[in-house]
Amino acid sequence: VAVAARKGMVMASPFTSSPVTIPTTARPGFLGSWLNRIPLPKWALIAVAVAVGVLLLPFLICIVRCCCGKKKPKKKERVSMCAVSSSTTASLVQPEMEDLERGTEQTGRGKLQYSLEYNFRAQELKVGVKQAAELKAMDSGGTSDPYVIVYLTSDRKKRYETKVYRKTLNPVFNESFTFQVPQAEVPESTLVMQIYDFNRFAKHDIIGEVRLPLASVSLQHVIEQWSDLAAAGKVEEEQLGEICFSLRYVPSTGKLTVLILEAKKLKRMNSHGLSDPFVKVHLILNRRKWKKKMTSVKKNTLRPYFNEMFVFEVPFNQIKNVDVVISVWDHDKVTKNEPIGKLFLGCRATGNQLRHWSDMLSNPRRPLTQWHSLQPPDVVDKALGLKSHLKLPLPPR
């Protein structure tokens, strides 16, 4: 009976004929009792539960993604430019020129094999261009058409070229060239070997170059070596030479004295690697040629010694309007004399020329001597801006 009572079973009592209901001991759950207290039907409660679940579902998805999702590495690597100084910002945005040059060198331009031999008796430098290897491809087909240009910085007028080799990155030249170089000028010269890619209908592209200062090598024996090609440097100005002279002006007498002393390192003008120099001294008044004098000619030399003096009469009221033009020329008996270089002094001059002229005016009656570098003649003529001579009208016939 006790077991039946626990199971909530209905049994007939043996003492009575009517059945007796025995109550169960099970209690309703907490959720069921709580729902029974809400005065709503079951379908309404289910509808409310579904609506709440639909609203909470997006929020639950966002929370799960933020907590469990992987962060992108790019967000960590981003740099706030607002917190970086301007100089640092520039370095981050624009690379340095050294980095660019290193990147260019890493691509590889190739290498060149050459030989050097100096004959001290004949004062000749023999340059042998042997071969090149692993050259940079300049054509669309992955090859190049290389050839070599060889010259000395002391005499750029004399250049040699090898033959052009088609569609190869490893050409074999085996050509030699001879330069006349006095022994005293060897340390001041630099051998330049440039490899170009030949183009029939366009400008030839330079692949690379080797620059070898002769002062850094020993020419007591034959040299044969490989050198890596470097990027072609800027075209340096041609060295025309230097000249030394003194200026002296006496305001009371109006005498301007120009003493031409000597010159050195002059440009070679003839086939023997020498020149026949002489000096012209021009006086320019109000941008018109006024007076002219010249020295004697010194034969077969690049370092002439003149020690010749010229005196000009220039009134004190005209000294500020005068330009002194000093030019060095190469004398030629057959053809026209060629100018080697020029320079001018005066109130319109600049640099050392203006300083020399100002010192002369500040120290009257005192000769002042100074060395000056020669400049290209066309550059000096352009700076002077000389006016043409006035042509007198022809008399009527």
- Tens digit of pLDDT per residue, the chain (397 long)? 444 444 444 444 444 444 444 454 445 555 566 666 666 677 777 777 787 777 788 778 878 777 665 555 444 434 333 333 333 333 334 444 444 444 444 458 899 999 999 999 988 999 999 999 999 988 888 889 999 999 988 777 688 989 999 999 999 999 999 998 888 888 888 899 999 998 876 778 899 999 999 988 888 889 999 999 998 865 555 678 899 999 999 999 999 999 999 999 888 887 677 788 999 999 998 888 888 999 999 998 989 999 999 999 999 999 989 999 999 999 888 788 889 999 999 988 888 888 899 999 999 989 999 999 898 888 888 888 876 544 444 444 4
**254 with 203, same domain?**
no
Distances (CA, A) of 389 to 109, 283, 287: 55, 15, 10
Q: What's the pLDDT at 76?
A: 42
pLDDT at 325: 94
193 and 265 part of one domain: no
Residue 120 belongs to a domain with what CATH number?
Answer: 2.60.40.150
Q: Quick check: is 65 in a domain?
A: no
Same domain, 273 and 210: no
Q: Look at the block and give the residue holding tokens 């966002």.
A: 62
Residue 392 lies in a domain: no
Residues 271 and 172 in one domain: no
Answer whether residue 167 is part of any domain.
yes
- 279, two tokens: 């000096």
Residue 358: how many CB atoms within 10 A of its CB?
A: 13
Same domain, 266 and 179: no
Q: Pairing mode, if any, of strands 172-180 and 155-161?
A: unpaired
What is the C-alpha to C-alpha distance for residues 243 and 324, in angstroms, rounded to an integer?
Answer: 14
Place of tokens 């990027």: 231
Q: Quote the CA–CA distance of 299 and 330 in Å, as a whole number.
A: 10
Check if the beta carbon of residue 159 is closer than 8 Å to that of residue 117.
Answer: no
Number of domains in the chain: 2
Q: How far is Cα 169 from Cα 111, in angstroms, rounded to an integer?
A: 10
Residue 9 covered by a domain? no
CA gap 196, 100 in Å, rounded:
22
Separation of alpha carbons 319 and 43, rounded Å: 119
pLDDT of amino acid 357: 92
DSSP states of 55-113:
HHHHHHHHHHHHHHSPPPHHHHH---GGGS-HHHHHHHHS--HHHHHHHHHHH---EEE
Q: Answer yes or no: is 161 within a domain.
A: yes
Range of the domain at 221: 110-229
Asked which of 182, 201, 229 is the last residue of a domain, the reply is: 229
* One-letter amino acid for residue 385 of the chain: G
Give yes or no: residues 211 and 265 share one domain. no
**Run of H or E including 265:** none
Q: Indicate whether 29 belongs to any domain.
A: no
> Count of CB atoms within 10 A of residue 11's CB?
12
Question: pTM of the entire structure?
Answer: 0.48
Cα–chain center distance at 145: 26
- Helix H, strand E, coil C: the string for 134-176 is CCCCCCCCCCCCEEEEEEECCEEEEEEECCCCCCCCCCEEEEE
For residue 286 the two structure tokens come to 């109000």
pLDDT 10s digits, 46-56? 777 787 777 78
How far, in whole angstroms, is CA 148 from its chain's centroid? 23
Would you state the structure tokens that stand for residue 104, as one six-digit string?
């260019």
The residue assigned the tokens 């890619």 is: 197
Asked if residue 43 is part of any domain, the answer here is no
The structure tokens 């043409």 sit at 388
Please compute Rg for the chain using Cα positions: 48
Do residues 354 and 318 share a domain?
A: yes
Q: What is the pLDDT of residue 31?
A: 57
Are 362 and 259 in the same domain? yes
| d(C-alpha 366, C-alpha 252), whole Å | 13
157 & 115 share domain: yes
DSSP for 317-364, please give it: GGGGGEEEEEEEEE--SSS--EEEEEEEESTT--HHHHHHHHHHHHST
Question: Same structural domain for residues 218 and 254?
Answer: no
Place of tokens 């005016």: 361
Would 14 be classed as within a structural domain? no
Q: Are residues 246 and 206 in the same domain?
A: no
Same domain, residue pair 211 and 318: no
Look at residues 198, 229, 260 and tell me which one is the last residue of a structural domain. 229
